[in-house]
Amino acid sequence: MSEAAALPPFSEQALQFLSVLSGLALKDAEGHVYPDVVTFGFWCRKASLMKQRAMYDDLSVRLGRGVVFHVAPSNVAVNFAYSCVAAFLAGNASVVRLPSKKFPQVDIFCRLWREALAQVPELQQYFLFVRYGHEDEVNARYSSLADTRVIWGGDETIRRFRQYPLKPRANEVTFADRFSLAVIEADRYMASEGKDALAQAFYNDTYLSDQQACTSPHLVVWFGERTAEARRAFWERLHDLVAKEYDFSAVQAVDKYDALLRLGAEMKLRQVKMEDQLVVRAEAEKLTPRLMEVRTGSGFFVEYIADDLAELYPVWGTMTQTVSYFGFTSKEIQATVMAGCPRGVDRIVPIGHTLDFSLFWDGYDLIRSMSRVVGVV
């Protein structure tokens, strides 16, 4: 792998391989059980990748950095695959530490990768997927090989891996613990005929990952005149969906009840009455930076009623990643962000699309972060 050529970004080799991988993912009977496997297949189609290639105007003077060592998060099944693909599109070989949690999707992707490489065997040196425990010697070895290290595991994982030295010229891309929120315009929600579809979209953003993904909203902010009516309709639909589709355990109920009592005492959050603990809601009197620390999971939401998007500035600090929305336009939210110049907010997406992967993530341009410029004077 250390002798593999540094390819240009969006090389023909990368596009060819990912086209094969996409076709296998979209046709795989076992993979079709998992929406995230199918979504990955669509994302890797050549037509999709060519659209993303068109966003770059300097690819003719770029090459990959060499070897990228990826530390995947333990709580998201397919993140490792996207991270590896981004590195390959940038022109690199990859060592990928797989999630420690045993996701069926991981096994499916490893099999699909083997099948794709059987068709394009000359690219085998560009991929190594490994799984191991908290072993200092192995972490240090892969870090010493890396020209770029990508860490997805959050603050504690970043701190742990920074004890392992990198090459003098290596760089690092880190994805720390983040906080995300949703904004909903109540009047437009009540006028919408897609209330059930929005409940499903919000469910996908939150419960599919037990609210553990950095993109999952933990705060829901309501705007408009009909907030009481809209909140009742929204949460009732979500509750019905959770009751039907979500596997809820007793320990999750205890964790959410504990968080509710603790946050009620510490931050004066007020419980909103619900029929059970499938959906737990707490209402905030005001927005404060402390709310960015509320990430209980498993369906625990803080709510706030606001008059103007500018009220969100206190929770748009450095920890804030994604703002998902309904009833607003992305330009309305973007304009508020740019006018207030907060140190946070890296993504603005419609509700239902928070998990959609992009080559621009957490404020990083992954292609440019994992490639280098060959300067010419």
E strands in the chain: 62-64, 67-71, 93-97, 127-130, 148-151, 171-174, 179-185, 217-223, 270-272, 280-283, 300-305, 320-326, 347-350, 360-361, 364-365, 371-373
The token pair that represents 152 in the structure block = 């997805």
Tens of pLDDT along the chain (377 residues)? Answer: 989 999 999 999 999 999 999 999 999 999 999 989 999 999 999 999 999 999 999 999 999 999 999 999 887 889 999 999 999 999 999 999 999 888 999 999 999 999 999 999 999 999 999 999 989 999 999 999 999 999 998 899 999 999 999 999 999 999 999 999 999 999 999 999 999 999 999 999 999 889 988 999 999 999 999 999 999 999 999 999 999 999 988 899 899 989 888 888 888 889 898 888 999 999 999 999 999 988 888 999 999 999 999 999 999 999 999 999 999 999 999 999 999 999 999 999 999 999 999 999 999 999 999 999 999 88
pLDDT given for residue 274 in this prediction: 86
Fold classification of 12-176+362-373 is Aldehyde Dehydrogenase; Chain A, domain 1 (3.40.605)
- Integer angstrom CA distances of residue 110 from 29, 131, 163: 15, 12, 29
Three-state DSSP state, 320:
strand
Residue-level pLDDT at 293? 86
What is the pTM assigned to this prediction?
0.91
DSSP 81-108: HHHHHHHHHTT-EEEEE--SS--HHHHH
Nearest of 230, 182, 229 to residue 203 by alpha carbon? 182
The confidence score (pLDDT) of residue 310 equals: 96
Residues in the chain, overall count: 377
Asked if the domains at 12-176+362-373 and 179-350 fall in one CATH topology, the answer is no
Strand partners, 179: 320
Q: Where are the alpha helices (DSSP H) in 207-273?
A: 227-245, 250-267
Rounded distance between C-alpha atoms, residue 58 and residue 163, angstroms? 34
CA distances from 199 to 208, 243, 276, 330, 352 (A): 13, 13, 18, 20, 9
Cα angle 283-284-285, degrees, rounded to a multiple of 5: 125
Helices (H), 94-214: 104-119, 136-145, 155-161, 186-191, 195-206
pLDDT (0 to 100) of residue 114:
97
Q: Domains of the chain: which residue ranges?
A: 12-176+362-373, 179-350
Q: Does domain 179-350 have CATH number 3.40.309.10?
A: yes
Q: How far apart are CA 316 and CA 172, in angstroms?
A: 25
CB distance 87 to 148 below 8 Å: yes
Give the pLDDT confidence score for residue 282 in this predicted structure.
94
